[in-house]
């Protein structure tokens, strides 16, 4: 079974409810991580973060 991994941009300003936007979908964890790392290196806004989610909406990938 193929897995889909989503690279999601999470925006939260101050104490407001966060909003989410799917930046990219990937078929492998390696591909998703490469894209996430590239986005993080270009990001200079502390209100944006990037997270990975599987197709069930669970963030099962933790950076170590």
Is there a domain that residue 59 lies in?
Answer: no
Domain that includes residue 23, residue range: 5-54
Note the pLDDT of residue 7. Answer: 92
Note the pLDDT of residue 35. Answer: 94
In sequence order, what are the residues at sequence separation of 6 or more whose Cβ sits closer than 8 angstroms to the Cβ of residue 5? 25, 26, 27, 28, 29, 31, 32, 52, 53, 54, 55, 61
The count of domains in the chain is 1
Local confidence band at 44 (pLDDT 50, 70, 90 cut-offs): confident
**Distance from C-alpha of 22 to C-alpha of 6, rounded to nearest angstrom:** 7
**Distance from C-alpha of 23 to C-alpha of 10, rounded to nearest angstrom:** 10
Residue 2 has pLDDT above 50, yes or no: yes
The pTM of this model reads 0.73
Is there a domain that residue 22 lies in?
Answer: yes
As a whole number of Å, the CA-based R_g of the chain is 12
């Amino acid at each position: 079974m193929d897995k889909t991994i989503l690279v999601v941009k999470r925006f939260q300003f101050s104490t407001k409810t966060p909003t989410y936007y799917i930046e990219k979908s990937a078929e492998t964890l390696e591909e998703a991580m490469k894209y996430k790392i590239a986005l993080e290196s270009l990001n200079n806004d502390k209100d944006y973060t990037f997270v990975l989610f599987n197709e069930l909406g669970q963030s099962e990938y933790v950076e170590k």
